[in-house]
Amino acid sequence: MYVLGIESSCDETAAAIVTEDKQILSNVVYSQINEHRLFGGVVPEVAARAHLEKIHLVVKKALEDARLDMSDISVAAGTCGPGLIGGVIVGATFAKSVSMAMNIPFIAVNHLEAHALSARLTEDLNFPYLLLLVSGGHCQLCMVHAVDRFNVIGKTVDDSIGESFDKVAKLLGWGYPGGPIIEKMSLGGDDRRFLLPRPLCRKDSCDFSFAGLKTAVRVAAEKCQTEQDRLDLCASFQRAVIDILVYKIKRAIEICGDRNPSAAVVSGGVAANKAVRAALQNVCDQCGLRFVAPPIQLCTDNGAMIAWLGVEKFMAGQFSDLRFTPRPRWPMGL
């Protein structure tokens, strides 16, 4: 079975072909970084136009890399939300068109659920497991019980973690995208120099908050006079974020311990940050819980995770009607 996965929820146009036995035959991603760098962030209208221009080329390349024709595809899976609705419509419509033209099943994929199950593509991972989803638009902790069963135990009450990385990088004058920039620049800074807040880390809640941390960085940045000052502030910000994630996942492990999670999984774009991964690995080792993170190339938005969720849903008999409406907001499990 060959499943075509199409992703277009934000600023990557992606397509991949994955089999039911976890072979990734192709995984093509067109990044829109150059289109958005001038604006210091993602512009929805620009993103939608770029998806429209590139999606047929990306799908064509995915087929070529897999050495397949469209007639070989068994299932068409496409991101139908959540995300920037213009881009979501482009990818969802393309996947529906493939389904209709080739007379094959269509599966509407929740982008967050694809991140949540992506680790099962590369790892032997059983349900249930604890998930920390950290991405450009989302930050939440949940128990994953099945392909369509998610119990959210904590989420951000304001800003997402990925957005915070982007805003801080822009504030410090380093541009976009913020995640890789912050990770790189932190290597040259003293992460103990600036005393920054760790919001909601004195409470038993697993919820997150990053707005106050961003404000504290902005106030501190006004006093920075040298490049080293900025590097130290950058490193201190990343350390604060890591401390928050460590505190929250410890709390989540305490809460979910009696449910016997098979592992603690981190996924989403911020999971590509090596310092974040190392800190979470360490805390899971201390708690005696297996730690799992997808390969870095599967943390950021990609078609392989969409195709894999298509496989999971196909095996569970969960198909979608072609009248399924793309959604800018779509909580997991609904």
Q: Show me where the domains of the chain are located.
A: 2-117+298-315, 126-293
Please state whether 288 falls in left (phi above 0), alpha (psi between -120 and 50) or beta: left
pLDDT, tens only, 14-40 = 999 999 999 999 999 999 999 998 888
2-117+298-315 against 126-293: fold identical: yes
Task: For residue 61, give the amino acid letter.
Answer: K
CB atoms within 10 A of CB 315: 11
pLDDT, tens only, 164-211 = 999 999 999 998 999 999 999 999 999 999 999 999 998 789 999 999
Which band of pLDDT confidence, cut at 50, 70 and 90, is reported for residue 213? very high
List of E strands, the chain: 2-7, 12-19, 24-31, 75-81, 106-110, 129-134, 139-146, 149-155, 264-267, 291-292
Query: Is pLDDT at 280 greater than 90 in this prediction?
Result: yes
Of 81, 22, 66, the residue nearest 320 (C-alpha): 81
Residues 6+ apart with CB under 8 A from 104: 73, 74, 75, 76, 98
Length of the chain: 334
pTM of the predicted model as reported, rounded to 2 decimal places: 0.96
Task: Determine the Cα–Cα distance for residues 33 and 11; give it in Å rounded to an integer.
Answer: 7
Q: Which CATH architecture has domain 2-117+298-315?
A: 2-Layer Sandwich (3.30)
Task: Determine the Cα–Cα distance for residues 251 and 15; give it in Å rounded to an integer.
Answer: 37
Task: Determine the Cα–Cα distance for residues 196 and 210; give it in Å rounded to an integer.
Answer: 11
Write down the CATH number for the domain with range 126-293. Answer: 3.30.420.40
Which band of pLDDT confidence, cut at 50, 70 and 90, is reported for residue 261? very high
Please state the φ and ψ torsions of residue 93, each to the nearest 5 degrees: -65, -40
Task: Determine the Cα–Cα distance for residues 263 and 260; give it in Å rounded to an integer.
Answer: 9
Q: Helix, strand or coil for residue 84?
A: coil
pLDDT, tens only, 104-143 = 999 999 999 999 999 999 999 999 999 999 998 889 999 9
Task: Identify the DSSP state of 228.
Answer: H
